[in-house]
Structure 1
Amino acid sequence: MKNQLKKLAPFALVGILSGATTFGAINYFNEEQNNTDFSYFTTSGKNSIPAGLNGSSSDNFVKASKTTVPAVVTIRNYQNNTPSSGRSMDQDIFEFFFGEGFRNNRSQRQEAPKDLPSGLGSGVIISPDGYIISNNHVVAGASKLEVVLSNKKTYTATLIGTDPSTDIALLKIEDKGLPYLNFANSDLVEVGQWVLAVGNPLGLNSTVTAGIVSAKGRNIDLLSQQSRTPIESFIQTDAAINKGNSGGALVNLNGDLIGINSAISSSSGYYEGYGFAVPANLAKKVVEDIKKFGLVQRGFLGVGSLDLSNDLQVKTYNQRNKTSLKSGKGIYVTDVAKNSGAEDAGIKIGDIITKIDNVNIDGFSDLSLAIGSKRPGDKVSVTYIRAGKEHKTTAALKDQKGNTSLRSKADLSVTEKIGGEFESLSDRVKVSYGLNSGVIARNIVDGGELSKIGVVDNYIIMEINGKPVNSQKDIENLLKNYKGTVSVVYLDEYGRATRRGFTMP
């Protein structure tokens, strides 16, 4: 199935074939997962309050602010000042995603002293015992994470796990009785409803801004820069969001969490009217998985897809395949992976998926969220059009290995743990580089251990723990059951040798 899935890369496999592995605390649960309650973090039972219906709108804003501000924290990201990890003070996702202006100014800044953070962001306390949700990019590359509450109390945080596919991270501080926010049901969020964005923009702690939900289900192609399998179905808001807001709260007028602020659309890197938040339902599922299983459990439907709502994508597909598909709503199935849930359910190339679990699938962001929010073994109802007639079937989602059971960190292979695959060197490459041994790195996982030490696709790994390697099996044998520091010697595209290390997960 793995090789088959690789062939489906064109035309947005995001979420549908997503399976990026994320590590955290190790727990193993292998019971039947369908209809199982995995909840540790609480969901509000309240409905959203439209402004003006219960008292004045200003009263609602005040109440929501008083609830939210104590639960929103500052996160300080300290990094070792190395060329691969050094970042400028206050850098966050806006420079990474949109910051041409920041990038131009960056060379004028001095490297931050060792006792100052390399980056600042926000986070939200989601349990009284100190679990905090934030963005993956806020904590990326940290050697130490510090959390500062609104009352200025400071903690050293433990990073429990991250998920680059959704840009979500889970941290933990040790305390009890902390203020926290409940998750709202983000599926019930409506365009036009009032929301508050709470965070620490531009170093201004506990800042609250107000706006409305401008749109739902936005796919703006941000997370593809940090993940090969991004899941994007953002809530868009016009509440002011700036540098430092990343990881902060987007709440309704009850003060319940409807999203995690992640990015802005801006030519300057500052607020220009459009902010984006990860929906609460998706964010909650990710942190529940990280806490309970130690990794994100994500299912595959197993289809290659064409977003019929994307005129450019349809036009490109028609030109490439000499077809005459028309733009509209739904997902056109361009391929079906062998032994996948889609194949088992009878879905075929040419079908148009219009609903998942009776929820309309107008475009790819809808399908990405619907499948990306599920786990292996979960069953989904799929409504599709074939030859002009509507059909309905049930598909059991599978993981990237084609299994329907849940996995723990202990179940992962060596290559999954370190985040990459390997190909033996050809004789020609060995002669070209003057090598007697080595393997080519393939499918390096963003945020994985190899990625963290600077290895990218097509780099040559020569040694692991001082021993030459010539195949993927060599690496698996060396690191199977291994604990401790892993030493890696690799060559970059210029033939320069680098020795780096990581702790075996």
Structure 2
Amino acid sequence: MRYAYGVTSALLLGGATLSLVTGLPAGAQVAQNDSQAIAGMVPRAGAPASFADLTQQLQPAVVNISVRQKVVVKQQQNPLAGLMFGGFGRAAPAQEKLAEALGSGFIISADGYIVTNNHVVSLDDENAADAVTVKLADGTQYNARIVGRDPESDIAVLKVDAKGPLPFVPFGDSGKVRAGDWVIAIGNPFGLGGTVTSGIISSVNRNTGTGAYDHYIQTDASINSGNSGGPMFDMRGNVIGINNWIVAPSGGNIGIGFAIPSDVAKPIVAKLMAGRAIERGFLGVQIQPVTDEIADSIGLPHDSGEVIRGVQPGLPGAAAGLKVGDIVLKVNNEDVTPSRTLSAIVSDTAPGTRVPLDVLREGKKTRLWAVVAKRPSQKELATSLTPASPRDPFATPQTADLVGSALGLKVTDMIPDYADALGVPPNTQGAVVVDVASASDAANRGLGRGAIVVGANFEPVRSVSDLEKAVELARKQGRSTITLQITGPAVQGGTVYLALRLS
């Protein structure tokens, strides 16, 4: 299971399926006989009469995966230890335990290569499982070895050595699928191997804000724990997605599931099969989407660009001249959009490549050039961006005057004493939030005390006076929102942009 943004998101340890005929891709068999498609295997005008024929062809290539792995479990401190022995409680030593899990996978070649999710074969996000067993639909079991895995895309490749050729399925073209297309999933939910579910594609190119490879096919086909690594099939038996995770606020399936598109998976699988390392591009910047509200505040078209909210020194973004507040519109002449994010474009760029960056800076377009570096691991990135925990600078009375604002905020000019307490550079200028009206848009958006407003509508704010002038200008321009640039201890990555309604 994983939890993101307060919503329970279940990683699906589940399965996939393939063609019945040994050595032939299921998709090819279905396509060879169009009369079968007309008879119900491929819907022409409405729902298919049955998925039974297609399922029968695909299930032999479905595999159930069971793993065993030694994991280190940290023990909680005994809360009674200090009371009983007159000292501080001691944390019990970490213990090594044997963890077991079930998942799914699908065979992609007659000689036994199998695709699944990385989290199926790595239960602690770092180390691979100690033992992996693969079970076919006919009950045959094999010990599998892990050929390669890529934690960032959550893809892994296994290999089994069979006495003869195995049934397999081909990858399809996920770029051609559309919302509303029928799909089926075959997997191992809750250990119930060979389970088939159907539904439609709810959305393509779904961006959920979960990382650089945040690009999913969304479906309402029933997917549950145990389905991770299993395939999502189109009606011709081609794998168009790898089932990956679900939104599960109640702990079970509610019809919102996500699959890794085949077009994303195919090149990664090919590299893992060849024993090649997965290298991705990296600029060393923190970004956030340009929401409709932010776009409206500066007159930018919707679904265009992403905002730079942090630039790490000594990395390609800084060397290229990117600054906080820049809106990147294109990378290497490719538009930055919600379905094709800056992270995705840069990640797909080979390290060492020199690319142009088309940027909107303070209302003017400019072009910068960057040499893409190799992306660090997720663990290294998380460590580099972990903020310090400062003390509350407003725990004692301050002498500065408080100024009310049209945004439902009480703000005061930034002074060195505040900077020290908030853990920001002493020369930081801006308007510090000391109180937020409970019924304001700012409160609803999570803005709190200690936040430092350093920009408004992508112009610098050095004082409360600057903020008030920016609000007045936005009103004169007929804007319904104003975009604030916020920094401070609560903001990971250094800065964030927040569009607030003008009251």
Q: Residues of 2 paired with 1:78 and 1:240: CA distance? A: 26
Structure 2 residue 341 is matched with structure 1 residue 369: no
Q: Residues of 1 paired with 2:218 and 2:287: CA distance? A: 24
> What are the superposed Cα offsets for residues 389-436 of structure 1, whole Å, 9 maximum, x if unpaired?
5566775532148xxxxxxxxxx9xx99xx999xxxxxxxxxxxxxxx
- 1:149 is matched with which residue? 136
> TM-score if structure 1 supplies the norm length?
0.54
Instruction: Label 1:81 to 1:332 Cα distance change in 2 as closer, same or farther (>3 A).
Output: closer
Q: RCO higher in 1 or 2 (8 Å CA, sep ≥ 6)?
A: 1
Q: Residues of 1 paired with 2:383 and 2:326: CA distance? A: 33
Give secondary structure in 2 for the equivalent of 1:118.
strand
**Structure-to-structure mapping, 1:463-478, within 5 angstroms:** none
Structure 2 residue 171 is matched with structure 1 residue 210: no
- 1:284 is matched with which residue? 266
CA offset at residue 234 of structure 1? 1.9
Tell me, yes or no, if the aligned pair for 1:309 and 1:363 is still in contact at 8 Å: no
Q: Residues of 2 paired with 1:420 and 1:146: CA distance? A: 34
Q: Residues of 1 paired with 2:358 and 2:56: CA distance? A: 44
Match of 1:139 among 121, 125, 138: 121
- 1:264 is matched with which residue? 246
Instruction: Label 1:118 to 1:238 Cα distance change in 2 as closer, same or farther (>3 A).
Output: same
- 2:492 is matched with which residue? none
Q: Residues of 1 paired with 2:231 and 2:134: CA distance? A: 15
Give aligned pairs, total.
321
Q: RMSD over aligned Cα, in angstroms?
A: 4.2
For 1:371, the aligned partner's letter is: V
For 2:223, the aligned partner's letter is: I
Tell me, yes or no, if the aligned pair for 1:299 and 1:399 is still in contact at 8 Å: yes
Structure 2 residue 67 is matched with structure 1 residue 77: yes
Q: Residues of 2 paired with 1:194 and 1:341: CA distance? A: 43
Higher alpha-carbon deviation: 372-381 or 141-150: 372-381
For 1:65, the aligned partner's letter is: T
- 1:398 is matched with which residue? 373
Aligned-residue sequence identity (percent) comes to: 35
Q: Residues of 2 paired with 1:324 and 1:367: CA distance? A: 20
Tell me, yes or no, if the aligned pair for 2:206 and 2:339 is still in contact at 8 Å: no
- 2:111 is matched with which residue? 129
**Structure-to-structure mapping, 1:38-437, within 5 angstroms:** 54=44, 57-58=47-48, 61-62=51-52, 64-80=54-70, 83=73, 118-141=100-123, 142-175=129-162, 176-220=164-208, 231-309=213-291, 328-329=302-303, 330-337=305-312, 340-342=315-317, 347-356=322-331, 360-363=335-338, 366-377=341-352, 382-388=357-363, 396-400=371-375
For 1:195, the aligned partner's letter is: V
CA offset at residue 164 of structure 1? 2.0
Instruction: Label 1:202 to 1:300 Cα distance change in 2 as closer, same or farther (>3 A).
Output: same
Give secondary structure in 1 for the equivalent of 2:341.
helix
CA offset at residue 209 of structure 1? 1.3
Q: Residues of 2 paired with 1:60 and 1:288: CA distance? A: 34
Q: Which one has the bigger strand percentage?
A: 2
> TM-score if structure 2 supplies the norm length?
0.54
Runs (5+) with no aligned partner, structure 1: 1-11, 13-41, 86-112, 223-228, 316-322, 402-411, 422-505
Q: Residues of 2 paired with 1:378 and 1:63: CA distance? A: 48
Instruction: Label 1:376 to 1:65 Cα distance change in 2 as closer, same or farther (>3 A).
Output: farther
Instruction: Label 1:279 to 1:396 Cα distance change in 2 as closer, same or farther (>3 A).
Output: farther
Instruction: Label 1:339 to 1:145 Cα distance change in 2 as closer, same or farther (>3 A).
Output: same
Give secondary structure in 2 for the equivalent of 1:184.
coil
- 1:447 is matched with which residue? none
Higher alpha-carbon deviation: 389-398 or 294-303: 389-398
Q: Residues of 2 paired with 1:73 and 1:326: CA distance? A: 49
Give secondary structure in 1 for the equivalent of 2:328.
strand
Tell me, yes or no, if the aligned pair for 1:218 and 1:365 is still in contact at 8 Å: no
Q: Residues of 1 paired with 2:265 and 2:115: CA distance? A: 8
For 2:165, the aligned partner's letter is: G
Tell me, yes or no, if the aligned pair for 1:187 and 1:281 is still in contact at 8 Å: yes
Q: Residues of 2 paired with 1:182 and 1:172: CA distance? A: 16
Q: Residues of 1 paired with 2:366 and 2:71: CA distance? A: 57
Runs (5+) with no aligned partner, structure 2: 6-24, 32-36, 76-96, 124-128, 385-503
Tell me, yes or no, if the aligned pair for 2:133 and 2:143 is still in contact at 8 Å: yes
Instruction: Label 1:377 to 1:210 Cα distance change in 2 as closer, same or farther (>3 A).
Output: farther
For 1:197, the aligned partner's letter is: A
CA offset at residue 265 of structure 1? 0.7
For 1:307, the aligned partner's letter is: P
* Greater C-alpha radius of gyration: 2
CA offset at residue 235 of structure 1? 1.5
- 1:448 is matched with which residue? none
Q: Residues of 2 paired with 1:381 and 1:258: CA distance? A: 32
Give secondary structure in 2 for the equivalent of 1:247.
coil
